């Protein structure tokens, strides 16, 4: 009896494993549960926290619902408004610079020349080295007393003998510095994405266009760009989201200073929500990243549809 029961049990199990409708969800379940638990739940919590007066001190004892007070407070907060402005400047400027440098790099790496392999590895280094470690090198280059940048500029007589700019110590220079360092980190990524896309253009299409008498500009804008655009756009969107939301470069170089002149949304949320422990206010600050994220997701979707999966 027992043997029969076990046999029919395992047959039943076998049967279930054969059913695609059963196995599919079973295979998907861990991934979906993980995303719900550690992305979905925290996201909802962020919204909930942003509507309360929760801090690190009253999290155990109880906190209360305050409506939109945190958001109203943010708009009254001069530093927050500055962080919002800085985020726009930082993200747009660094991403633009990275795109220009990245495109030039991609065009160069399309050519054949001696030493290309070495050049490729060297140019990819800023992206491949962990951001926290690469940026430390820049921190030392921007040092207030021993800046190698200043020494070099003086050696080439670009700076006078008594000029010694404080790269991270003056507002405008600090902003320029974090923008350049972020672009330095991001441009190799732009380059490889463009390279990947350009090698995807079939040579016979280029030849056909040429035979049909299309000049350089027509070939570029009516043949190459339409093929490349959907491919690179996902990479470009990723890069832009990263520039808008990251705080690593700013935190490592200036911690948002001097006097908040390089404070961005990410670093300010960290300052308010983690360092100062004002969880409600911090959560409200980081929620301002959501609109950017939504736009990025919609654009990615569109790009992927055009690419025809």
Work out which of 66, 79, 92, 136 binds other proteins, going by CB under 8 A: 136
Identify which range of 74-82, 92-100, 166-174, 285-293 contacts other proteins by CB under 8 A.
Answer: 285-293
Binding of other proteins at residue 162 (CB under 8 A)? no
Work out which of 8, 12, 23, 81 binds other proteins, going by CB under 8 A: 23
- Return the SS3 of 243: helix
Residues in 63-92 at the binding interface with other proteins, rule: CB under 8 A: none
Residues in 195-224 at the binding interface with other proteins, rule: CB under 8 A: 195-197, 200
Q: Of the two residues 180 and 214, which places its CB atom closer to other proteins in the complex?
A: 180
Report how far residue 151's alpha carbon sits from residue 169's, in angstroms, rounded to the nearest whole number. Answer: 17
**C-alpha dihedral over 24, 25, 31, 33, to 10 degrees?**
180
The CA-atom distances, in angstroms, between 67 and each of 71, 78, 82, 177 are 9, 21, 24, 39
Binding track over 112-131 against other proteins, x by CB under 8 A = -x-----x-xxxxxx-xxxx
**Which residues lie across from 65 on neighbouring strands?**
52
Q: How many residues bind other proteins (CB under 8 A)?
A: 98
- Secondary structure element (H or E) that encloses residue 240, with its range: helix 225-245
Q: Determine contact, residues 183/98, Cβ cutoff 8 Å.
A: yes
Identify which range of 2-10, 67-75, 211-219, 278-286 contacts other proteins by CB under 8 A.
Answer: 278-286
Binding of other proteins at residue 27 (CB under 8 A)? yes
Report how far residue 70's alpha carbon sits from residue 281's, in angstroms, rounded to the nearest whole number. Answer: 5
Residues in 225-254 at the binding interface with other proteins, rule: CB under 8 A: 231-232, 234-235, 237-238, 241-242, 245-248, 251-252
Q: Angle, nearest 10°, between helix axes 69-76 and 78-110?
A: 80
């Amino acid at each position: 009896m027992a043997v029969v029961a076990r046999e029919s049990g395992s047959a039943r199990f076998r049967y279930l494993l054969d059913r695609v409708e059963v196995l599919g969800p079973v295979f998907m379940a861990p991934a979906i549960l993980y995303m719900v638990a550690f992305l979905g739940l925290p996201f909802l919590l962020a919204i909930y926290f942003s509507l309360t007066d929760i801090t690190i001190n009253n999290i155990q004892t109880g906190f209360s619902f305050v409506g939109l007070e945190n958001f109203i407070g943010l708009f009254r907060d001069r530093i927050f408004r500055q962080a919002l402005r800085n985020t726009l400047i930082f993200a747009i400027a660094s991403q633009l610079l990275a795109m220009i440098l990245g495109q030039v790099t991609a065009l160069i790496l399309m050519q054949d020349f001696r030493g290309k392999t070495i050049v490729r590895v060297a140019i990819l280094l800023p992206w491949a080295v962990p951001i926290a470690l690469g940026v430390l090198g820049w921190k030392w280059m921007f040092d207030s007393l021993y800046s190698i940048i200043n020494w070099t500029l003086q050696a080439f007589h670009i700076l006078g003998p008594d000029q010694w700019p404080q790269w991270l110590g003056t507002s405008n220079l600090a902003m320029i510095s974090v923008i350049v360092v972020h672009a330095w980190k991001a441009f190799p990524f732009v380059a490889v994405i463009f390279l990947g896309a350009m090698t995807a253009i079939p040579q016979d299409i280029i030849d056909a266009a040429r035979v049909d008498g299309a000049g350089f500009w027509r070939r570029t804008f009516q043949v190459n760009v339409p093929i490349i655009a959907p491919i690179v756009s996902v990479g470009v969107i990723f890069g832009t989201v990263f520039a808008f939301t990251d705080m690593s470069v700013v935190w490592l170089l200036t911690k948002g200073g001097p006097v908040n002149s390089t404070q961005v949304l990410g670093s300010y949320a960290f300052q308010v929500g983690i360092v100062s422990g004002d969880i409600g206010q911090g959560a409200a600050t980081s929620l301002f990243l959501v609109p950017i994220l939504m736009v990025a997701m919609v654009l990615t979707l569109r790009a992927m549809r055009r690419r025809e999966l």
